[in-house]
Amino acid sequence: MPTSAPTLMRLKQSLPLLWLNPTRSTAVAAQEVGHALATTGSESPAESQYISLADIEAARSRFERFAPLLAKLFPELAASGGVIESALSPAPAVASLLGMAPGQGRVLIKQDHALPVAGSIKARGGLHEVLEFAERVAIANGLLPSQPSAADYVALLSERAREVFARHSVAVGSTGNLGLSIGVIASALGFKASVHMSADAKAWKKDRLRQRGVEVVEHAGDYAQAVAQGRAQAVTDPLAHFVDDERSLSLFLGYAAAVFGLRRQLAEQGIVVDAQHPLFVYLPCGVGGAPAGIAFGIRQILGPHAHCFFAEPVQSPCVLVQMMDGSDGPQGPHPTVYDYGLHNRTEADGLAVPQASRLASAAMREVLGGIYTVEDGQLMRFVYQLEQAEGLRVEPSATAGMAGPSMLLGTPEGQRYLQESGLQAHLAQSTHVVWTTGGLFVPPAQYQQFWEAGRDLLAQQP
């Protein structure tokens, strides 16, 4: 189904909009993503590779095996025994500031903005990929048995392990938060680490990495160019691993594993997800890997009565233009936001991506409910309001999910979605999860600027 003319018009005029995915189904099927995956060196793209629940379980097991080691590497993980998790907290004050009526469901916040080690949702995907690489290098070099158990992993702290890791390097292209995550875990394990950053990446993120001994390579162009140049440099080195944000399955599955924690937390709070108790999840979206990984995990683990929506800045709706296009095969179009006259400049630096991950769009065809866009001013107001209402300190990117309930409940498109999915009658028993995605390590002075900008914008409103 072609995208409607009014929606296209709003997209080009950089006005907030909600687009509904016409190919969503309710199947809990494995997804074919082979053409969209990263390949290493001579290997040719897999013709047909499916991902399913078993792959997400493998990622969870990897996190569990590494937990004792992580608890030793990062003091902030000692208390949790190496488990990296964020709270899922009721947020009634958010429901009222969004103007939600009592019959429209409850609001919870999934607080990935406070994830330890990386300070953002990237703690999930980024750590997982570096751990998987470390495991592979360790097994190949006899540091771990071929079927290791959790008790074996502390051996990776040994002098010999560090010598092996120091010969290997990990590289990544990033707007900031992925670089922070990869740089921190890679350098903690003893790998050489380099992060390729675009000009718009925040100075404090570069500083924080350099303090950890990570090499920061700055590129004049945008995020997509930083990734391309980082990738080109790494393929020439057999001991280098490039974390490819545009097509990495390991990143994707690391994010998806978050849903086991979400399922447990929902159950602990007595929240059921079924036809009479729908769940809505609102996820800030950059290149698409993090929200798509989580949405895929949600479909596999929580089923089709969970409805996922992505949030993109009005100037950077790259996954929207990719999914609108309808065809994401290997030869299909790969549009950028520039093609629609948008400029990709936004204060939401974690979401400032001009071209989508095809892995994300391929995995989302049957899964995603829709995508909405948010203006920068709105993100700033949410920064201020989240602090006032819930005492949460998040970065602008991380607030994009906050617009979700209003987009769903308060727009004609949102009403159409509720109607067509038969959800109107069940709203009172519904749960809205707003996923906050970054902010823990934002320097206080920088945070203060966002907060004041949001406060001033709110004061100007009639």
Ligand X SMILES: *Cc1c(COP(=O)(O)O)cnc(C)c1O
By three-state DSSP, how is residue 239 classified?
coil
3-class DSSP string for 297-342 = HHHHHHCCCEEEEEEEECCCCHHHHHHHHCCCCCCCCCCEHHHHCC
Among 438, 450, 453, 454, contact with ligand X (rule: CB under 6 A) = 438
Kindly state whether residue 317 participates in binding ligand X, applying the rule CB under 6 A: no
Among 291, 370, 401, 404, contact with ligand X (rule: CB under 6 A) = 291
Number of Cβ within 10 Å of residue 262's Cβ equals 24
Kindly state whether residue 354 participates in binding ligand X, applying the rule CB under 6 A: no
Among 105, 116, 190, 289, contact with ligand X (rule: CB under 6 A) = 289
Q: How many helices (H) and strands (E) does the chain have?
A: 17, 13
Kindly state whether residue 287 participates in binding ligand X, applying the rule CB under 6 A: yes
Token pair 């290149």: residue: 287
Kindly state the smallest distance separating residue 357's Cβ from ligand X, in Å: 7
Number of Cβ within 10 Å of residue 285's Cβ equals 36
CB 84 within 8 A of CB 127: yes
Q: Which long-range contacts (CB under 8 A, 24 or more apart) does 267-272 make?
A: 269/88, 269/90, 269/108, 271/431
Kindly state the smallest distance separating residue 200's Cβ from ligand X, in Å: 13
Among 73, 121, 314, 380, contact with ligand X (rule: CB under 6 A) = 121
Kindly state whether residue 355 participates in binding ligand X, applying the rule CB under 6 A: no
Q: Which two tokens stand for residue 285?
A: 């979206």
Kindly state whether residue 98 participates in binding ligand X, applying the rule CB under 6 A: no
Judged by CB under 6 A, how many residues of this single chain contact ligand X? 20
How far apart are alpha carbons 141 and 155 in whole angstroms? Answer: 12
Kindly state whether residue 383 participates in binding ligand X, applying the rule CB under 6 A: no
Kindly state whether residue 177 participates in binding ligand X, applying the rule CB under 6 A: yes
Kindly state the smallest distance separating residue 286's Cβ from ligand X, in Å: 3
Kindly state whether residue 111 participates in binding ligand X, applying the rule CB under 6 A: no
If the CB atoms of residues 293 and 414 are measured against ligand X, the closer one turns out to be 293
If the CB atoms of residues 148 and 335 are measured against ligand X, the closer one turns out to be 335
Among 126, 190, 288, 414, contact with ligand X (rule: CB under 6 A) = 288
Phi, psi (5° rounding) for residue 317?
-85, 65
Kindly state whether residue 346 participates in binding ligand X, applying the rule CB under 6 A: no
Kindly state whether residue 182 participates in binding ligand X, applying the rule CB under 6 A: no
Q: How far is CA 262 from CA 78, 178, 268, 312, in A?
A: 21, 22, 10, 23
Chain residue at closest Cβ approach to ligand X: 286
Q: Please give the residue ranges that form the binding site for ligand X (CB under 6 A).
A: 120-122, 177-178, 284-291, 350-351, 395, 397-398, 437-438
